[in-house]
A = this chain, B = another copy of it.
Amino acid sequence: MIQRYGIYEIVLSRTIDAASNPFVDVTLSAAFTQRNRVVHVDGFYDGDGIYRIRLMPDQTGEWTYATHSNLPDLDDQHGSFIVGPAAPGQHGPVRVANGTNFAYDDGAPYSPIGTTCYVWNHQGDGLEERTLATLATAPFNKIRMCVFPKHYDYNHNEPGFFAFEQTASGFDWTRFNPAYFRRLEKRIAQLGALGIEADLILFHPYDRWGFSHMDRATDECYLRYIVARLSAFANVWWSFANEYDLMPAKSMQDWDDYFRLVQTSDPAQHLRSIHNCRGFYDHAKPWVTHCSIQSSDLHRAAEWVGQYGKPVVFDECCYEGNINHGWGNITAQTMVHRFWDGFTRGAYVGHGETFMHPDEILWWAKGGDLHGQSPTRIAFLRRVIEDAPAGHIVPIDIHWDVACAGIPGEYYLFYFGNRQPSFRVLPLPADRRFTIEVIDTWEMTLTELPGTHSGDTRVELPARSNIALRVRRSGERGRRGEGEKRWEGA
């Protein structure tokens, strides 16, 4: 039986006319139906005379389908299948929830704790399997990675597989290389098994092969093909670009159109974003599901959450490391600080690592091993985040000099950053009581203060930097504020 959020695949095999190009000459789709609901899914050519149409069924029960094609042999094929419960741990694609948070499709909580390994999937089996082994014990549940290989400092090796068919004179831009995509799918599935979202970068500027300046028709053909192949993988996100603004061959109109093409084609409606170098793409455009931001201005997180009304993900806030480039040599302390700063202003933050390596295996590009001191602390933060109660986590404006996010009246996470106060008065609601824990974000300690607290509460602090406070509503109601409005809820 097919599992909910698994992949149902229609496989059609037909002899290919040598004179035709099935990648471009054949149209193929299926209409999947469950009672009155119809889901339109495009198929794709997988080489060797094989065509596939893939659905990620998001509801249990019986589904039927009928195919449509300009090839009579592929047209009007019918079938039905039963979808049962999801596999354990499979919660479906990540969605925007509560406006500025995320959750899995089945409602299970999800907060992205990302990392970046741009081309880990272009490094060959040995290193790629090592990366997967590292990820299995790392704190990350999202990874930024590219479809196309990368040409840049510390990235001069040639990839083993290309997305397009190679000929004696270069690439045939009208024919894809199914072997490349099967390999990519395998890696995405392996990430999925580890509970990691594949934030797939569709275009990027660091290129010596031509993928950054394909013509418009090729771009569109590529986008349709990759959506057809990958939309049935629950853990795919579409990142239209890494540093879109460093790609002069594409206009803003191109980006807008590509967003809409994918939005129209993708039956699973995976998350869609685009990442900047300098200026933002306008994240207010309706086809952008969340803000993918490169910036070290974590202190502006709450401003952008408010401005866009969408989840804000700092996908790049510099990387822990020691290379020459300023974006790749921040300390572990700074990285951990940025994580806490971003999360306690209602946003999400991503990691990366760029330590000099004798074989130029830098995590940020190629994966491999993690060498830094931040992942352990990020794992600690992840546990704190995953302990938060259900509800809409929002930035809470307490005062200019302390970051705070939480669920007003229920849950607050304060963070004092590089400040070192010896005490602080918290303006807690007076009509209920709270427990307070002092968190050392670097030492990873969590110390609960005695008793419960209500109203303006003076908290003694250790006069060190990187201290957070977790304030949670305690079971008992406060005695103060008799006449005030009581909190109504579970």
Contact = CB atoms under 8 A, between A and B. Distances in A.
18 contacts: A321-B420, A322-B420, A322-B422, A323-B422, A324-B422, A324-B423, A324-B424, A325-B421, A326-B419, A326-B421, A329-B416, A329-B420, A329-B422, A330-B420, A331-B418, A331-B420, A334-B418, A356-B463
A414 to B, nearest CB: 12
Interface string A304-315: 000000000000
B331 A421 contact: no
Interface string A389-425: 0000000000111100000000000001011111111
A326 B423 contact: no
Interface in A326-376: 326-327, 329-331, 334, 356
Interface in A65-103: none
Contacts of A419: 326, 329-331
A155 interface: no
Contacts of A402: 326
Nearest to A320: B420
A465 interface: yes
B327 A401 contact: yes
Nearest to A327: B401
Contacts of A327: 401
Nearest to A325: B401
Interface of A: 321-327, 329-331, 334, 356, 399-402, 416, 418-425, 463, 465
> Which one of A324, A334, A400, A418 has the greatest number of beta carbons of chain B within 10 Å?
A324
A410 to B, nearest CB: 25
A356 B399 contact: no
A418 B321 CA distance: 12
Contacts of A321: 420
Contact of A326 (B325, B329, B330, B399): B399
Given A327-B401, A401-B327, A463 B322 contact: yes
A335 B262 CA distance: 49
A476 to B, nearest CB: 28
Given A331-B465, A465-B331, A324 B420 contact: no
B329 A421 contact: yes
B418 A324 contact: no
Contacts of A465: 331, 334
A402 B463 CA distance: 30
A385 to B, nearest CB: 24
